[in-house]
Protein backbone atom coordinates (compact mmCIF):
# COMPACT_ATOMS: atom_id res chain seq x y z
CA UNK A 1 0.00 0.00 0.00
CA UNK A 2 2.88 2.38 0.83
CA UNK A 3 4.23 1.86 -2.69
CA UNK A 4 0.82 2.59 -4.22
CA UNK A 5 0.68 5.84 -2.23
CA UNK A 6 3.85 6.92 -4.01
CA UNK A 7 5.45 8.37 -0.88
CA UNK A 8 2.36 10.34 0.15
CA UNK A 9 0.78 9.85 3.57
CA UNK A 10 -2.69 9.23 2.09
CA UNK A 11 -4.22 8.29 -1.25
CA UNK A 12 -6.24 11.49 -1.14
CA UNK A 13 -3.12 13.66 -1.04
CA UNK A 14 -1.54 11.63 -3.84
CA UNK A 15 -4.70 12.08 -5.91
CA UNK A 16 -4.83 15.83 -5.26
CA UNK A 17 -1.21 16.22 -6.32
CA UNK A 18 -1.75 13.96 -9.34
CA UNK A 19 -4.31 16.36 -10.82
CA UNK A 20 -2.11 18.01 -13.45
CA UNK A 21 -1.32 14.54 -14.86
CA UNK A 22 -4.88 13.30 -14.57
CA UNK A 23 -6.12 16.41 -16.40
CA UNK A 24 -3.56 15.96 -19.15
CA UNK A 25 -4.72 12.38 -19.61
CA UNK A 26 -8.31 13.56 -19.81
CA UNK A 27 -7.39 16.17 -22.44
CA UNK A 28 -5.03 13.98 -24.46
CA UNK A 29 -6.13 13.34 -28.03
CA UNK A 30 -9.30 15.34 -27.46
CA UNK A 31 -7.97 18.88 -27.81
CA UNK A 32 -5.21 19.71 -30.27
CA UNK A 33 -3.84 22.08 -32.88
CA UNK A 34 -3.89 20.38 -36.29
CA UNK A 35 -0.48 20.08 -37.97
CA UNK A 36 -1.80 21.78 -41.11
CA UNK A 37 -3.25 24.75 -39.17
CA UNK A 38 -1.26 25.18 -35.94
CA UNK A 39 -3.00 28.45 -35.01
CA UNK A 40 -6.37 26.69 -34.78
CA UNK A 41 -7.73 24.37 -32.08
CA UNK A 42 -9.86 21.29 -32.64
CA UNK A 43 -11.83 19.13 -30.23
CA UNK A 44 -12.39 15.49 -31.04
CA UNK A 45 -14.63 13.42 -28.80
CA UNK A 46 -14.45 9.91 -30.24
CA UNK A 47 -16.92 8.40 -27.74
CA UNK A 48 -19.67 10.71 -28.98
CA UNK A 49 -19.22 10.26 -32.69
CA UNK A 50 -20.99 6.99 -33.33
CA UNK A 51 -24.05 5.35 -31.83
CA UNK A 52 -23.30 2.05 -30.10
CA UNK A 53 -23.80 -1.08 -32.15
CA UNK A 54 -27.43 -2.18 -32.04
CA UNK A 55 -28.64 1.22 -30.72
CA UNK A 56 -32.32 1.99 -31.36
CA UNK A 57 -31.39 5.37 -32.81
CA UNK A 58 -28.47 5.04 -35.23
CA UNK A 59 -27.92 8.80 -35.54
CA UNK A 60 -24.54 10.13 -34.38
CA UNK A 61 -24.74 11.26 -30.71
CA UNK A 62 -22.92 14.51 -31.55
CA UNK A 63 -25.54 15.32 -34.13
CA UNK A 64 -28.32 14.58 -31.66
CA UNK A 65 -26.55 16.74 -29.09
CA UNK A 66 -26.25 19.59 -31.57
CA UNK A 67 -30.01 19.51 -32.13
CA UNK A 68 -31.04 18.81 -28.55
CA UNK A 69 -33.36 21.26 -26.87
CA UNK A 70 -32.17 20.49 -23.36
CA UNK A 71 -29.37 18.82 -21.43
CA UNK A 72 -30.00 17.23 -18.04
CA UNK A 73 -27.00 16.50 -15.83
CA UNK A 74 -27.80 13.72 -13.37
CA UNK A 75 -25.35 12.85 -10.61
CA UNK A 76 -24.75 12.48 -6.86
CA UNK A 77 -22.31 14.01 -4.38
CA UNK A 78 -19.20 15.60 -5.82
CA UNK A 79 -20.28 14.60 -9.33
CA UNK A 80 -23.38 16.74 -8.89
CA UNK A 81 -21.11 19.73 -8.29
CA UNK A 82 -19.30 19.15 -11.57
CA UNK A 83 -22.77 18.90 -13.15
CA UNK A 84 -23.57 22.39 -11.88
CA UNK A 85 -20.35 23.71 -13.39
CA UNK A 86 -21.35 21.86 -16.58
CA UNK A 87 -24.74 23.56 -16.61
CA UNK A 88 -23.13 27.01 -16.52
CA UNK A 89 -20.66 26.00 -19.25
CA UNK A 90 -23.34 24.51 -21.53
CA UNK A 91 -25.50 27.62 -21.21
CA UNK A 92 -22.68 30.08 -21.75
CA UNK A 93 -20.44 28.28 -24.24
CA UNK A 94 -22.91 26.14 -26.16
CA UNK A 95 -25.96 28.39 -25.82
CA UNK A 96 -28.21 25.51 -24.84
CA UNK A 97 -30.66 24.92 -21.99
CA UNK A 98 -29.18 22.81 -19.23
CA UNK A 99 -30.45 21.55 -15.89
CA UNK A 100 -28.73 19.70 -13.13
CA UNK A 101 -30.49 17.07 -11.06
CA UNK A 102 -29.69 14.98 -8.01
CA UNK A 103 -30.13 11.56 -9.56
CA UNK A 104 -32.18 10.36 -6.57
CA UNK A 105 -34.60 13.30 -6.75
CA UNK A 106 -34.93 12.92 -10.49
CA UNK A 107 -35.73 9.25 -10.48
CA UNK A 108 -38.30 9.33 -7.71
CA UNK A 109 -40.49 12.02 -9.24
CA UNK A 110 -42.09 12.10 -12.66
CA UNK A 111 -39.79 14.48 -14.54
CA UNK A 112 -40.77 15.63 -17.99
CA UNK A 113 -38.36 14.05 -20.45
CA UNK A 114 -38.67 13.98 -24.22
CA UNK A 115 -36.76 12.35 -27.05
CA UNK A 116 -34.93 15.56 -27.92
CA UNK A 117 -33.40 15.72 -24.42
CA UNK A 118 -29.90 14.52 -23.60
CA UNK A 119 -29.16 13.15 -20.17
CA UNK A 120 -25.53 13.37 -19.10
CA UNK A 121 -24.85 10.96 -16.24
CA UNK A 122 -21.72 11.93 -14.31
CA UNK A 123 -20.14 9.35 -12.05
CA UNK A 124 -16.61 8.57 -10.96
CA UNK A 125 -17.36 4.94 -10.12
CA UNK A 126 -19.97 4.37 -12.80
CA UNK A 127 -21.89 2.28 -10.25
CA UNK A 128 -24.03 4.73 -8.28
CA UNK A 129 -27.49 3.15 -8.15
CA UNK A 130 -29.54 6.34 -8.35
CA UNK A 131 -27.57 7.65 -11.34
CA UNK A 132 -28.00 4.32 -13.09
CA UNK A 133 -31.76 4.44 -12.53
CA UNK A 134 -31.94 8.02 -13.86
CA UNK A 135 -30.34 6.75 -17.08
CA UNK A 136 -32.87 3.94 -17.40
CA UNK A 137 -35.72 6.42 -16.98
CA UNK A 138 -34.30 8.75 -19.63
CA UNK A 139 -33.93 5.81 -22.00
CA UNK A 140 -37.55 4.84 -21.51
CA UNK A 141 -38.42 8.31 -22.85
CA UNK A 142 -35.99 7.82 -25.76
CA UNK A 143 -33.67 10.62 -24.65
CA UNK A 144 -30.00 10.30 -25.60
CA UNK A 145 -27.94 9.14 -22.60
CA UNK A 146 -24.29 10.10 -22.25
CA UNK A 147 -21.93 8.77 -19.58
CA UNK A 148 -19.09 10.78 -18.06
CA UNK A 149 -17.39 8.05 -16.10
CA UNK A 150 -13.95 7.21 -14.74
CA UNK A 151 -14.18 3.44 -14.31
CA UNK A 152 -13.91 1.69 -17.65
CA UNK A 153 -16.56 -0.94 -18.30
CA UNK A 154 -18.65 0.12 -15.27
CA UNK A 155 -22.44 -0.25 -15.23
CA UNK A 156 -23.08 3.40 -16.20
CA UNK A 157 -20.55 3.19 -19.04
CA UNK A 158 -22.38 0.13 -20.36
CA UNK A 159 -25.91 1.43 -19.84
CA UNK A 160 -25.46 4.81 -21.59
CA UNK A 161 -25.73 5.29 -25.37
CA UNK A 162 -22.31 6.93 -25.62
CA UNK A 163 -19.86 8.81 -23.45
CA UNK A 164 -16.48 10.01 -22.36
CA UNK A 165 -14.10 8.26 -20.02
CA UNK A 166 -12.16 10.55 -17.70
CA UNK A 167 -8.85 8.66 -17.84
CA UNK A 168 -8.08 10.11 -14.40
CA UNK A 169 -6.59 6.83 -13.19
CA UNK A 170 -7.88 4.90 -10.17
CA UNK A 171 -9.25 7.06 -7.37
CA UNK A 172 -8.85 5.23 -4.06
CA UNK A 173 -9.59 7.98 -1.52
CA UNK A 174 -13.31 7.95 -0.77
CA UNK A 175 -13.57 11.74 -1.11
CA UNK A 176 -13.36 12.51 -4.82
CA UNK A 177 -10.67 14.94 -6.01
CA UNK A 178 -9.01 14.21 -9.34
CA UNK A 179 -12.16 12.63 -10.75
CA UNK A 180 -13.98 15.89 -9.99
CA UNK A 181 -11.55 18.09 -11.90
CA UNK A 182 -11.49 15.63 -14.80
CA UNK A 183 -15.30 15.60 -14.90
CA UNK A 184 -15.19 19.38 -15.22
CA UNK A 185 -12.65 19.06 -18.04
CA UNK A 186 -14.84 16.53 -19.86
CA UNK A 187 -17.90 18.77 -19.58
CA UNK A 188 -15.96 21.84 -20.75
CA UNK A 189 -14.71 19.90 -23.76
CA UNK A 190 -18.27 18.88 -24.59
CA UNK A 191 -19.54 22.44 -24.12
CA UNK A 192 -16.84 23.83 -26.42
CA UNK A 193 -17.41 21.15 -29.05
CA UNK A 194 -21.14 21.83 -28.98
CA UNK A 195 -20.61 25.59 -28.96
CA UNK A 196 -18.76 25.22 -32.21
CA UNK A 197 -21.31 22.89 -33.75
CA UNK A 198 -24.29 24.97 -32.68
CA UNK A 199 -22.63 28.19 -33.83
CA UNK A 200 -22.66 29.67 -30.33
CA UNK A 201 -18.91 30.27 -30.37
CA UNK A 202 -16.94 32.08 -33.05
CA UNK A 203 -13.73 30.47 -34.29
CA UNK A 204 -11.80 33.12 -32.40
CA UNK A 205 -13.61 32.49 -29.10
CA UNK A 206 -13.22 28.75 -29.50
CA UNK A 207 -9.48 29.11 -30.03
CA UNK A 208 -9.18 31.33 -27.00
CA UNK A 209 -11.09 28.93 -24.74
CA UNK A 210 -9.24 25.86 -26.04
CA UNK A 211 -5.85 27.48 -25.46
CA UNK A 212 -6.92 28.44 -21.92
CA UNK A 213 -8.19 24.94 -21.13
CA UNK A 214 -5.12 23.27 -22.51
CA UNK A 215 -2.86 25.48 -20.38
CA UNK A 216 -4.59 24.65 -17.08
CA UNK A 217 -2.57 21.51 -16.12
CA UNK A 218 0.77 23.29 -16.55
CA UNK A 219 -0.27 26.34 -14.59
CA UNK A 220 -1.57 24.15 -11.75
CA UNK A 221 1.59 22.08 -11.65
CA UNK A 222 3.84 25.11 -11.22
CA UNK A 223 1.71 26.57 -8.46
CA UNK A 224 0.84 23.48 -6.42
CA UNK A 225 4.24 23.08 -4.80
CA UNK A 226 3.89 26.44 -3.03
CA UNK A 227 0.34 25.66 -1.98
CA UNK A 228 1.10 22.86 0.49
CA UNK A 229 2.88 25.06 3.00
CA UNK A 230 0.35 27.88 2.70
CA UNK A 231 -2.65 25.62 3.22
CA UNK A 232 -0.92 23.92 6.16
CA UNK A 233 -0.45 27.25 7.95
CA UNK A 234 -4.10 28.17 7.41
CA UNK A 235 -5.28 24.70 8.41
CA UNK A 236 -3.44 24.98 11.71
CA UNK A 237 -5.48 28.08 12.46
CA UNK A 238 -8.84 26.67 11.38
CA UNK A 239 -8.53 23.06 12.53
CA UNK A 240 -10.53 23.46 15.75
CA UNK A 241 -13.61 24.97 14.09
CA UNK A 242 -16.97 23.27 14.51
CA UNK A 243 -18.69 25.12 11.63
CA UNK A 244 -17.45 26.68 8.43
CA UNK A 245 -19.11 28.62 5.61
CA UNK A 246 -18.01 28.72 1.99
CA UNK A 247 -19.26 31.34 -0.42
CA UNK A 248 -18.84 31.83 -4.15
CA UNK A 249 -20.74 33.34 -7.04
CA UNK A 250 -21.57 31.96 -10.50
CA UNK A 251 -19.14 29.17 -11.43
CA UNK A 252 -17.63 29.57 -7.98
CA UNK A 253 -20.85 28.62 -6.23
CA UNK A 254 -20.31 24.92 -7.13
CA UNK A 255 -16.70 25.31 -5.99
CA UNK A 256 -17.97 26.63 -2.64
CA UNK A 257 -20.34 23.65 -2.38
CA UNK A 258 -17.52 21.26 -3.19
CA UNK A 259 -15.17 22.96 -0.69
CA UNK A 260 -17.80 22.54 2.02
CA UNK A 261 -18.51 18.93 1.07
CA UNK A 262 -14.81 18.01 1.16
CA UNK A 263 -14.39 19.54 4.62
CA UNK A 264 -17.50 17.77 5.91
CA UNK A 265 -16.57 14.43 4.39
CA UNK A 266 -13.08 14.06 5.77
CA UNK A 267 -12.74 16.37 8.78
CA UNK A 268 -16.28 15.99 10.17
CA UNK A 269 -16.58 19.77 10.56
CA UNK A 270 -20.04 21.00 9.72
CA UNK A 271 -19.74 23.12 6.59
CA UNK A 272 -22.13 24.75 4.15
CA UNK A 273 -21.63 26.32 0.76
CA UNK A 274 -23.65 29.36 -0.33
CA UNK A 275 -24.07 31.47 -3.44
CA UNK A 276 -22.25 34.61 -2.27
CA UNK A 277 -25.27 36.85 -2.12
CA UNK A 278 -27.62 34.22 -0.75
CA UNK A 279 -25.65 34.01 2.50
CA UNK A 280 -27.46 37.20 3.49
CA UNK A 281 -30.72 35.26 3.55
CA UNK A 282 -29.98 33.06 6.53
CA UNK A 283 -26.39 31.82 6.68
CA UNK A 284 -25.25 35.20 7.90
CA UNK A 285 -26.69 34.47 11.35
CA UNK A 286 -24.01 31.82 11.78
CA UNK A 287 -21.19 34.30 11.34
CA UNK A 288 -19.65 35.36 14.61
CA UNK A 289 -16.23 35.46 16.19
CA UNK A 290 -13.82 32.84 14.88
CA UNK A 291 -16.29 31.07 12.54
CA UNK A 292 -14.27 30.34 9.39
CA UNK A 293 -15.76 31.93 6.28
CA UNK A 294 -14.06 30.97 3.06
CA UNK A 295 -14.86 33.41 0.25
CA UNK A 296 -14.00 32.85 -3.37
CA UNK A 297 -13.54 36.28 -4.92
CA UNK A 298 -11.87 36.38 -8.31
CA UNK A 299 -11.56 39.70 -10.12
CA UNK A 300 -13.16 37.99 -13.13
CA UNK A 301 -16.32 37.16 -11.12
CA UNK A 302 -19.24 39.09 -12.62
CA UNK A 303 -20.24 40.69 -9.32
CA UNK A 304 -16.75 41.09 -7.90
CA UNK A 305 -17.40 44.55 -6.42
CA UNK A 306 -20.43 43.25 -4.49
CA UNK A 307 -18.45 40.21 -3.28
CA UNK A 308 -15.71 42.53 -2.07
CA UNK A 309 -18.24 44.51 -0.07
CA UNK A 310 -19.66 41.32 1.44
CA UNK A 311 -16.20 40.12 2.44
CA UNK A 312 -15.69 43.37 4.38
CA UNK A 313 -19.03 42.83 6.07
CA UNK A 314 -18.12 39.27 7.10
CA UNK A 315 -14.90 40.56 8.63
CA UNK A 316 -16.85 43.18 10.49
CA UNK A 317 -19.04 40.44 11.96
CA UNK A 318 -15.99 38.66 13.36
CA UNK A 319 -15.49 35.83 10.83
CA UNK A 320 -12.13 34.10 10.57
CA UNK A 321 -11.79 35.11 6.96
CA UNK A 322 -10.01 33.23 4.21
CA UNK A 323 -10.22 34.77 0.75
CA UNK A 324 -9.36 32.79 -2.34
CA UNK A 325 -8.52 35.17 -5.14
CA UNK A 326 -6.45 35.55 -8.29
CA UNK A 327 -2.71 36.16 -8.36
CA UNK A 328 -1.61 39.72 -7.74
CA UNK A 329 -4.88 40.88 -6.18
CA UNK A 330 -4.17 43.01 -3.10
CA UNK A 331 -7.77 44.15 -2.52
CA UNK A 332 -8.10 41.98 0.59
CA UNK A 333 -4.93 43.04 2.34
CA UNK A 334 -5.92 44.16 5.83
CA UNK A 335 -9.40 42.66 5.38
CA UNK A 336 -8.86 38.90 5.19
CA UNK A 337 -6.99 37.02 7.90
CA UNK A 338 -5.67 34.69 5.21
CA UNK A 339 -5.43 35.01 1.45
CA UNK A 340 -4.71 32.27 -1.06
CA UNK A 341 -3.92 33.28 -4.62
CA UNK A 342 -4.61 31.19 -7.72
CA UNK A 343 -3.33 31.55 -11.27
CA UNK A 344 -6.04 33.32 -13.27
CA UNK A 345 -7.61 31.82 -16.38
CA UNK A 346 -10.87 32.32 -18.30
CA UNK A 347 -13.73 32.41 -15.80
CA UNK A 348 -15.34 29.21 -17.15
CA UNK A 349 -12.10 27.27 -16.53
CA UNK A 350 -11.31 28.89 -13.18
CA UNK A 351 -13.10 26.22 -11.05
CA UNK A 352 -10.46 23.71 -12.19
CA UNK A 353 -7.91 25.82 -10.37
CA UNK A 354 -9.85 27.37 -7.50
CA UNK A 355 -11.07 24.01 -6.15
CA UNK A 356 -7.52 22.78 -5.49
CA UNK A 357 -6.61 24.94 -2.47
CA UNK A 358 -9.94 23.94 -0.93
CA UNK A 359 -9.16 20.24 -1.41
CA UNK A 360 -5.78 20.75 0.25
CA UNK A 361 -7.28 22.78 3.06
CA UNK A 362 -9.74 19.98 3.89
CA UNK A 363 -6.98 17.42 3.66
CA UNK A 364 -4.62 19.21 6.05
CA UNK A 365 -7.37 20.09 8.52
CA UNK A 366 -8.53 16.46 8.57
CA UNK A 367 -4.95 15.25 8.96
CA UNK A 368 -4.33 17.62 11.87
CA UNK A 369 -7.56 16.38 13.49
CA UNK A 370 -6.35 12.78 13.13
CA UNK A 371 -9.26 11.73 10.90
CA UNK A 372 -9.40 8.60 8.80
CA UNK A 373 -8.87 10.48 5.55
CA UNK A 374 -9.04 7.78 2.90
CA UNK A 375 -11.96 6.00 4.56
CA UNK A 376 -14.13 8.52 6.39
CA UNK A 377 -16.64 7.06 8.80
CA UNK A 378 -19.99 5.98 7.30
CA UNK A 379 -19.00 7.03 3.77
CA UNK A 380 -18.77 4.62 0.83
CA UNK A 381 -16.76 5.15 -2.32
CA UNK A 382 -19.77 4.26 -4.40
CA UNK A 383 -23.32 4.02 -3.18
CA UNK A 384 -24.79 1.01 -4.92
CA UNK A 385 -27.73 0.58 -2.55
CA UNK A 386 -31.05 2.28 -3.17
- What residues line the site for ligand G6P (CB under 6 A)? 76-79, 123-125, 128, 131, 174-176, 379, 381-383
CB 141 to ligand G6P: min, Å: 22
Give the nearest distance from C-beta 380 to ligand G6P in angstroms. 6
| Sign for the pseudo-dihedral over CA of 55, 61, 63, 68 | positive
Q: Residue 91 gets which letter from DSSP?
A: I
* DSSP bridge pairs for 42: 32
Query: Which of 186, 226, 248, 228 shows the shortest CA–CA distance to 261?
Result: 248
Nearer to ligand G6P by Cβ, of 175 and 187: the residue is 175
CB of 105 to ligand G6P, least distance (A): 14
Residue closer to ligand G6P, measured from CB, 123 or 219: 123
- Closest approach, Cβ 333 to ligand G6P, in A, equals 36
Q: Which is nearer to ligand G6P, 359 or 382 (CB)?
A: 382
Q: Give 182-185 contacts, CB < 8 A, sequence gap 24+.
A: 182/22, 182/23, 182/25, 182/26, 182/150, 183/79, 183/82, 183/86, 183/122, 183/124, 183/148, 184/82, 184/85, 184/86, 184/351, 184/352, 185/23, 185/26, 185/27, 185/213, 185/216, 185/352
Instruction: Considering the complex, state which of residue 225 and residue 378 has its C-beta at the smaller distance from ligand G6P.
Output: 378
| Phi, psi for 148 (deg, rounded to 5) | -120, 100
Closest CB to ligand G6P belongs to which residue?
Answer: 77
Give the residue with the Cβ less far from ligand G6P, 82 or 345. Answer: 82
Q: Report the nearest approach of ligand G6P to the CB of residue 146 (Å).
A: 15
Helices (H), the chain: 11-17, 19-27, 61-67, 77-89, 103-107, 129-140, 155-159, 178-197, 203-238, 252-267, 304-316, 350-368
Our CB check for ligand G6P shows the closer of 132 and 295 to be 132
Q: Which is nearer to ligand G6P, 180 or 332 (CB)?
A: 180
Residue 207 CB partners (closer than 8 Å, separation 6+): 39, 40, 41
Rounded Cα distance between 151 and 187, Å, is 17
Nearest distance from C-beta of residue 129 to ligand G6P, angstroms:
9
Print the SS3 string covering 146-191: EEEECCCCCHHHHHCCEEEECCCCCCCCCCCCHHHHHHHHHHHHHH
Question: How distant, in Å, are the alpha carbons of 93, 184, 187, 383 from that of 87?
Answer: 10, 11, 9, 24
Q: Which is nearer to ligand G6P, 339 or 382 (CB)?
A: 382
Of 117 and 130, nearer to ligand G6P (C-beta) is 130
Least distance in angstroms from the C-beta of 383 to ligand G6P: 5
**Least distance in angstroms from the C-beta of 237 to ligand G6P:** 27
151 vs 158, 179, 338, CA distance in Å? 11, 10, 38
Q: How far is the CB of 126 from ligand G6P (least distance, A)?
A: 7
Amino acid sequence: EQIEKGGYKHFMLKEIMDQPNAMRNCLRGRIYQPAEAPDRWEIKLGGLEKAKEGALNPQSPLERMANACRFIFAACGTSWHSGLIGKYAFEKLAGVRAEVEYASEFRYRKPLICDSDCLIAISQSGETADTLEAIKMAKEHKALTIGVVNVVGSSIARETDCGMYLHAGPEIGVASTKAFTCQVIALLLMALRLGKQRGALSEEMLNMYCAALNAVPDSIEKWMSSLTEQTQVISKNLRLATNALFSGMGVHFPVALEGALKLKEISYIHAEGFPASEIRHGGITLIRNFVPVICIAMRSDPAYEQIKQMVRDFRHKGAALLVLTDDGNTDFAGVAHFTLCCPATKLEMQPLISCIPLQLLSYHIADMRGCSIDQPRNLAKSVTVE
